[in-house]
Amino acid sequence: MKVIPIASVCGRSLSAPEATVDFAAGGTVAADAWHLVGSVDAYFDGKDCHGVTIASVRVGLFRVDGEIYALDDICTHGNALLSEGFLDGHEIECPLHAGLVDIRTGKGTTSPIVRDTRRHDVRLDEGNLYVRLSH
Ligand code: FES
């Protein structure tokens, strides 16, 4: 098991609780592995966007109306982290060029984003958040 610190929350950097990411033995990851990210309460304590690294993949976590969504965190248009953007309803606005992505589907909804963002499965179990990476 390896511990990776969180880097950002909705538009600003901070010292956040650490994300515990479960790596498979030997550094490889099973195709259908669920990765323990950590306690939902520790992550979403009033802030609704977080970035974590899971098996070398940067993942943005977003919470809207109690539902949690996971997407690739790096914008498909450029080198920006969606988790540092601005969440408005179910859309995250990229902090670099203001492209919008629907966090439920990963679809880019405005220019300049023309390529969809990969979505990952999320599971909650006894207050813990798990993410299964899509391929
Ligand atoms: S980098 Fe995200 S819209 Fe350009």
- The per-residue pLDDT for range 65-119, each reduced to its tens digit, is 999 999 999 999 999 999 999 999 999 999 999 999 999 999 999 999 999 999 9
Ligand 1 touching residue 85 (CB < 6 A): no
Ligand 1 touching residue 58 (CB < 6 A): no
Domains defined for the chain, CATH in brackets: 2-132 (2.102.10.10)
- pLDDT tens profile 32-74: 799 999 999 888 877 899 999 999 999 999 999 999 999 999 9
pLDDT for residue 1: 40
pLDDT of residue 10 exceeding 90: no
Output the average pLDDT for the chain: 83
Q: For the chain, where are the E strands, in sequence order?
A: 2-4, 8-9, 12-13, 19-21, 34-39, 49-54, 57-64, 67-72, 86-88, 91-93, 100-102, 119-125, 128-132
Give how far Cα 89 sits from Cα of 16, 19, 103, Å. 23, 25, 9
pLDDT for residue 31: 54
Ligand 1 atom closest to residue 76's alpha carbon, by position in its atom list: 2
Ligand 1 touching residue 75 (CB < 6 A): yes
pLDDT for residue 64: 95
